[in-house]
Chain A
């Protein structure tokens, strides 16, 4: 190891990463850079599409389609009922897990409210109790009034509501976005 050139070459080959100052003057350092770059490219090409596919739900738009819940005369004034519908974004193989439901209340003649069934505390499904006129959550005892406001327990916010409209005397809701809190 008296030859100084050998020393340098030996030290270089012991290092995994290239000596950035010499990547375009030394063949070995350039090959390190080349291999690292290609390795990065291979990883990117292999991983990015796969990962993008894995989270493709972030790129789909279920759209703000209006979902028909039934003719408005089906619902009695002052009553709150559970209406079942199919998630418009669901796939044919989703079976019963594509079913959704909503607490629909006919406040008065043409005034309807559609409450999301999930408790704002931890997302458990709330139950409507017609006797006391309250929504009650089976998980941690959250309670809401018939207008969705918090009546007791841990929920931090009122029940969420879906946009709702009446078209040709049919009640329709849109589940893409909740209404802002009032």
Chain B
């Protein structure tokens, strides 16, 4: 230990650094600065991971258009520790962005950007910009197919800017088209220029943290007054301040350990982002997408009304930068606590909520044509031949399925057509297909009349028969069963009468009973199918007894008895079917309403026959 002391003393004598280092480490911080204050140091820790893993990767990576992809593949699949280090570099970047945003939200909500820490905020905004820029340039260095198209997408957005668009796009691409030159320029940006600027800004940021002190946790009603703030702050520090080391530093160390452990765990278990196809811009089968932290912006660009795009693509980034940079100038004094700044809370919730929702949409990509849509099955189409079937074929051939869903198959870009037949007629469908719409191509010049006819026939057949399930009361169940048995009895007795009766009037009446009650029974069965109700299939005991009794009679005796019973039965039926027509439900009620007339006519006819028999 003596030796170590001697070395330290010698160094201190020649450099004078001991006192400033100790002063820095033990500078006083407000005592309430607890877990909410750990996020800034978490970003710094993640940055250290980035520096180490980045330098390590640079020892193998070759920034040449022809070789970068191979070296990344080598790092990922062959180089010892290569996969781990690439994974850490990726998740380190994610951690930097996540905690930088949380740090910023915390500083904003706590009002810590107010006097005298305005430049802390401004340098922080610049650091956030460089962090995202490092992420974007890093994604390009992966130099796979996605990287190539990501630059192309960036350049195309730049082209929208008036006057300078072409120049900005050339800067991004380093020339006219994406290629090897693009990569080597992105390498210089990612490895030298941006890290240099970022570290310089970081030095300023940390210097300002020491110079202006860590902000004390805000108390509602305790206002910031630039005239007295510093004086009060230093007085407070002298009264109750705690040395940063170790009273506050231990929390930073604990949280940073968790962050590093998280980065390591993700790198081990999730691994670095997959390397896609090689960076060959002639491979057109690509689906470029930015890394996760920019997916929300990609989603905005898909969801914008088309006319609003130009101004928004140009103005939105400017708006974001101006808004963030103007925060400390809009309000640098007064209330700090978020409990008294509801708008600040609302802004943070709105911003984070929108970004989350847009990211979710961005990963689902409902606006993208689904080129790998699963074809419709014959079961869904509902027919293996004829116009419906060939219409379904046209639906697939013409790419309709890429954007429209039918019964769960297909894309989500356009409306779901599962039950379009219930919404649109064949003429309306034809109009839309021929003329197109907001997002829909006009197929007029690209479809034969026969194809169009079949296609619309197929679409018109898209109906979902949604069965409306009625709950039938027990009273109605009994009534329906009784009506059904009455019907069976009418048919059975009618058939008996056809063979037994001699009187022509009775005979033809019996024939009518059989025919019309058979029709009524069929219709009732349909209604029962729809209502999912099982009808009885034979007569009740009383009716069976009556059948046996009638069967034993003959001639006039039979005719009289038959007609009397039929009259009685129809009188009952008129009443009970009338009840159903009035109080019933669904298809049964409809059936009863339609059938009541027939039954009444039967009743009347029976009366007439009986009267004429009696007068004879």
| A interface residues (Cβ-Cβ under 8 A, vs B) | 54-55, 57-58, 60, 62, 82, 84-85, 87, 89-91, 93-101, 117-127, 129, 131-134, 136-141, 143, 145-146, 151-154, 156, 175-176
Chain B residues with Cβ under 8 A from A175's Cβ?
Answer: 177
| Interface pairs (30), CB distance under 8 Å | A54-B185, A54-B188, A55-B171, A60-B175, A62-B175, A82-B284, A93-B180, A94-B64, A94-B180, A95-B69, A97-B148, A99-B280, A101-B282, A101-B284, A118-B152, A122-B157, A123-B152, A123-B156, A125-B284, A131-B398, A132-B399, A132-B443, A134-B399, A134-B441, A139-B287, A139-B298, A139-B368, A143-B439, A145-B445, A145-B446
What's the dominant secondary structure at chain B's contact region? loop
CB distance from B363 to the nearest CB of A (A): 14
Contact: A141 with B280, CB < 8 Å? Answer: no
CB distance from B364 to the nearest CB of A (A): 13
CB distance from A35 to the nearest CB of B (A): 23
Docked complex Cα distance between A145 and B287 (Å): 20
Docked complex Cα distance between A54 and B170 (Å): 12
Docked complex Cα distance between A93 and B397 (Å): 42
Q: A90-B65, A152-B439 are known; give 16 further A-B pairs, CB within 8 A.
A: A87-B177, A93-B65, A93-B66, A93-B180, A100-B282, A121-B156, A122-B153, A122-B157, A125-B284, A133-B446, A134-B446, A138-B286, A139-B287, A141-B369, A141-B413, A143-B369
Docked complex Cα distance between A27 and B161 (Å): 51
Of the candidates A55, A94, A121, the one whose C-beta lies within 8 Å of that of B66 is A94
B413 to A, closest residue via Cβ: A141
Given the known interface contacts A95-B66, A124-B153, A141-B302, the answer about A100 and B177 at a Cβ–Cβ threshold of 8 Å is: yes
Chain A residues with Cβ under 8 A from B284's Cβ?
Answer: 82, 101, 117, 125-127
Tally A-B pairs: CB < 8 A: 184
| B interface residues (Cβ-Cβ under 8 A, vs A) | 64-67, 69, 143, 148-149, 152-153, 155-157, 170-171, 174-183, 185, 188, 278-289, 298, 301-302, 304, 306, 309-310, 367-369, 371, 396-400, 402-403, 413, 436-443, 445-446
Of the candidates A55, A131, A153, the one whose C-beta lies within 8 Å of that of B397 is A131
Given the known interface contacts A98-B65, A123-B155, A152-B436, the answer about A140 and B301 at a Cβ–Cβ threshold of 8 Å is: yes
CB distance from A144 to the nearest CB of B (A): 8
Contact: B286 with A140, CB < 8 Å? Answer: no
A58 to B, closest residue via Cβ: B170
Chain A residues with Cβ under 8 A from B446's Cβ?
Answer: 132-134, 145-146
Docked complex Cα distance between A155 and B202 (Å): 41
Chain B residues with Cβ under 8 A from A91's Cβ?
Answer: 65, 180-181
Chain B residues with Cβ under 8 A from A146's Cβ?
Answer: 446
Contact: B306 with A156, CB < 8 Å? Answer: yes
Chain B residues with Cβ under 8 A from A131's Cβ?
Answer: 396-399
Chain A residues with Cβ under 8 A from B149's Cβ?
Answer: 123-125
Docked complex Cα distance between A57 and B175 (Å): 5
Docked complex Cα distance between A182 and B437 (Å): 23
CB distance from A129 to the nearest CB of B (A): 5
Contact: A138 with B306, CB < 8 Å? Answer: no
Docked complex Cα distance between A139 and B143 (Å): 19
Contact: B64 with A122, CB < 8 Å? Answer: no
Contact: B67 with A93, CB < 8 Å? Answer: yes
Residue of B170, B174, B179, B442 most packed against chain A (CB within 10 A): B179
Docked complex Cα distance between A141 and B304 (Å): 13
Of the candidates A82, A97, A126, the one whose C-beta lies within 8 Å of that of B180 is A97
Given the known interface contacts A100-B281, A127-B371, A141-B369, the answer about A62 and B176 at a Cβ–Cβ threshold of 8 Å is: yes
Contact: A141 with B439, CB < 8 Å? Answer: yes
Given the known interface contacts A57-B170, A96-B278, the answer about A136 and B157 at a Cβ–Cβ threshold of 8 Å is: no
Chain B residues with Cβ under 8 A from A119's Cβ?
Answer: 156
Contact: A136 with B369, CB < 8 Å? Answer: yes
Contact: B413 with A97, CB < 8 Å? Answer: no
Docked complex Cα distance between A82 and B284 (Å): 8
A151 to B, closest residue via Cβ: B441
CB distance from A153 to the nearest CB of B (A): 5
Docked complex Cα distance between A143 and B400 (Å): 12
Contact: B180 with A90, CB < 8 Å? Answer: yes
Docked complex Cα distance between A97 and B66 (Å): 6
A90 to B, closest residue via Cβ: B179
Docked complex Cα distance between A156 and B305 (Å): 11
Chain B residues with Cβ under 8 A from A126's Cβ?
Answer: 284
CB distance from A88 to the nearest CB of B (A): 11
Docked complex Cα distance between A131 and B271 (Å): 40
A123 to B, closest residue via Cβ: B156
